[in-house]
Each structure stands twice: as C-alpha cells, then as structure tokens.
Structure 1
C-alpha cells in the first residue's frame, strides 16, 4: 500500500518510514504542507494519508481541507496530541477518517491504516485470494497452499497490488508507483527484478504472473490460463 506521510519531525518521520517499509508499505514523506500538496497534485495514487497537524508552514487542517474541497477522497488518518479532543472533533468534521494520539505503537498505526484502506475499497472481510494464494488483511501475511510466503517489502507491495486486481492487467508505471517511493533511485525497469523474484517464489504453484504486452502485468490462476487457452 502506498502511503503519504506528512510529518515535520525528522526523527519521527524517519522512524515511521522505516517501520512502514519493513511492514510492506510504500511511504512518501512530506515535511510540510507545501510538499504534501505537491505530492497530492502529482497524480500519484495513494491508498491513505497519515497527517500530522503541527506543520511548519500551515496547519495540517489546511491540507485536509484542500483535499476534501478538491474532491480527493483518499483516507486520511490524523496524528494528534494526547487529549486534544476539540482538534480531533474538528478533523473528523473536516473529513478525516480516523485519528491516532501521540505517542502510539506502530502496530496500531498499521492496523488502523489497513482498516481505512479496507473500508475505502468496500471490503468488510480483509481476505483476498487467487487459487491457493491468499492474503489476510489483519495479519498482512500471504500464504501459498496454506504455507506462509516469505516476501521482501517490495515483493509484498507488488503482490498486494497484483492480487487486489487479480485477473486484470496492472500497468508497469502504476505497479512501479505501488512499490517504489518518490525518492527512490531505482530505474523504471527495477520493477522487473521484483517480479522476477516473485515469479520464482510462485513457481510450481497454481498461480502465476503474466506479462500482457502493452498493458502491464496480470496475476491469474494456472487453471484459468489453461481454460482460456483451450
């Protein structure tokens, strides 16, 4: 899942970015409201925004207001000070989807983000499946034929994007955007390396990744592929 992290405290932002990456999220970091606005206007498709309110150039509420006034319905989780009830109420009234008081545990932040994304996609039961490949949204774990699938954060992000649209091609640039943050030095073909590793881990199973010329990449069951070829 691609996340926009809007946080001006350097140490906090570094800690959150590292923790989110280790859990398979792809975070882009904005240290102020201006940078956050530029990210949001770039056309990047974010699954959620984590928004701190105490930004150096403008209050975080202005970022939230601009998003909602512009028709951007991306789920927003607001970080607030402990006990700041009026601030939380105002954020919810302006269109925030959830809030989390500082200090907080990273596990709770990740669980709340996953819940926000599930709700935004209309899924009450956070489980995705293609043949014997399954993803549990609560544990954020993949299993293949019932066995835990060991994945790197980039592989996890790529497979999540493909599984969410199983049977439908995902464009190369769109998949790249789900896997690599804006400040990544990886070239546009780096996604091929991630997919190569995924294909090796899926080899011999009943699901595979297909390259669809001109359209991107598609995750499908081998049974479906065999039926389509007959």
Structure 2
C-alpha cells in the first residue's frame, strides 16, 4: 500500500492506523516522485492526496491510468465540491474520502477496494478448512487459530490475493516490506518457508517456480 500525502501529521496518523492493522504501508510526499516510483513499483492500493508539491494528485492519477495501471486509488482530499469529486472519479479514482477523515471509515474503504481488486465479495478468504479474515488479520485452520506473525499475515494475504499467479521474489518483497526495510532475496525465501510450515495440513499450497518465484494454488 502506498500513501501519497505531504501533510506530515495526517500521514503519520494514517500510517499508524494501517500499521496497527497489520498492513505494510509506504509513503511519498511529492507527486513527481510518486509518479516516478509508480512506473516501476506496484502496490495493492494507493491513497492519494490531490494537493501535492511537484505534481498534482490528479496528474499522478491521470498518468497512472494512461499507463494502463489498474491499481485501486482512494483519493484523500480537503476538496468537498461535487465537481472536484466527479473530476477525480472520471480520471479513474475508485473511491473518494474528504478530510477531516474518520480513520475507521478510511480503513474500511481501503479493505473494500483491495477486496474488489481480488474479486472478493467479503473480507474472508475461504480455502477449504483455511479461513483468513482480512479485517481481523486472523487465520484459522479447521477452526483453530494459526499463530501468525505480522510478516506471515502480509505474505498470506499477498498469496491469497494472487491465487494461481506467479509472484516474483521482488514482488513478494514489495508486498511484505516497507521502504525503510532492506530485505534480501534470502529473507524472502525464509519468510515463504516459515509460512509454508505454518500452513501444513491446509489445502493452500505455496510452490516455488524455479527462476520465476512462487505461486499459491489449492491442492486437489
């Protein structure tokens, strides 16, 4: 998840909220820098302010969609005029929330957008006896809680959101680590091995595809 917001106080509160819920979240403060980052990096969700230095949020959004990038975008702005909201949505935003914000609503809207991207109708992923609740960040296997650390939760959610699709080690690292962390590919491998052990006995299988990365699928 990427927050593009130049207000330090607001950004800190938003990031604290999502980190407390177990999300990996990064931040950019400048529109031009965010645009350059988004050319090469991909996120599950963008939370985008409109009034940014360097490049307006509307231009960041326009360029994102012009590149064919369909990452969900939640606009976060003080502009409350209906024309501003219509303009943002017409440029390709998926949702719009006006400052001052209720952080519970922001978190709920973010979950809904990530669900929609993954084709999920609810916050729960159900794979046989394995149940993962995105809102609660809780996984159970045959009704028994799995003891997952924060990193395990990020990784499980990344795989469940990408069932049947190969994720490179770099993509996995982007999903589970923040900018401040500098993981090695070996650290990614260890994280996958640890989660694989915790999922033993479940129908979810994490397979290594040599030279490409990993794929999550369901055992027959």
Q: Structure 1-normalised TM-score?
A: 0.81
- The answer for the alignment partner of 1:211 in structure 2 is 208
- The answer for the alignment partner of 1:228 in structure 2 is none
- The answer for the alignment partner of 2:156 in structure 1 is 159
- The answer for the alignment partner of 1:109 in structure 2 is 106
> What per-residue deviation string (whole Å, max 9, x for no partner) do you get for residues 176-230 of structure 1?
1211123322222221332243234334555554434334334455x63xxxxxx
Cα pair distance change 1:101/1:215, threshold 3 Å = same
* 2:36 corresponds to 1:38: yes
| 8 Å Cα contact 1:27-1:181 kept in structure 2 | yes
Correspondences of 1:37-76 after superposition (within 5 Å): 37-42=35-40, 44-76=41-73
- The answer for the alignment partner of 2:13 in structure 1 is 15
* Length, aligned pairs only: 220
Alpha-carbon offset, residue 17 of structure 1: 2.3
Give structure 2 stretches of 5+ with no counterpart.
none
Alpha-carbon offset, residue 28 of structure 1: 2.3
Moved more, 151-160 or 197-206: 197-206
* 2:91 corresponds to 1:94: yes
| 8 Å Cα contact 2:2-2:25 kept in structure 1 | yes
- The answer for the alignment partner of 2:119 in structure 1 is 122
CA distance in 1, matches of 2:30, 2:102: 23
> What per-residue deviation string (whole Å, max 9, x for no partner) do you get for residues 113-170 of structure 1?
1211222333334432333212234544322212333433321111112223345543
Alpha-carbon offset, residue 51 of structure 1: 0.4
> What per-residue deviation string (whole Å, max 9, x for no partner) do you get for residues 32-78 of structure 1?
11111011111x22222100112122321111122223322221100
Root mean square deviation of aligned Cα: 2.5
Moved more, 206-215 or 7-16: 206-215
Q: Structure 2-normalised TM-score?
A: 0.85
- The answer for the alignment partner of 1:4 in structure 2 is 2
Give structure 1 stretches of 5+ with no counterpart.
225-230
Structure of larger gyration radius? 1
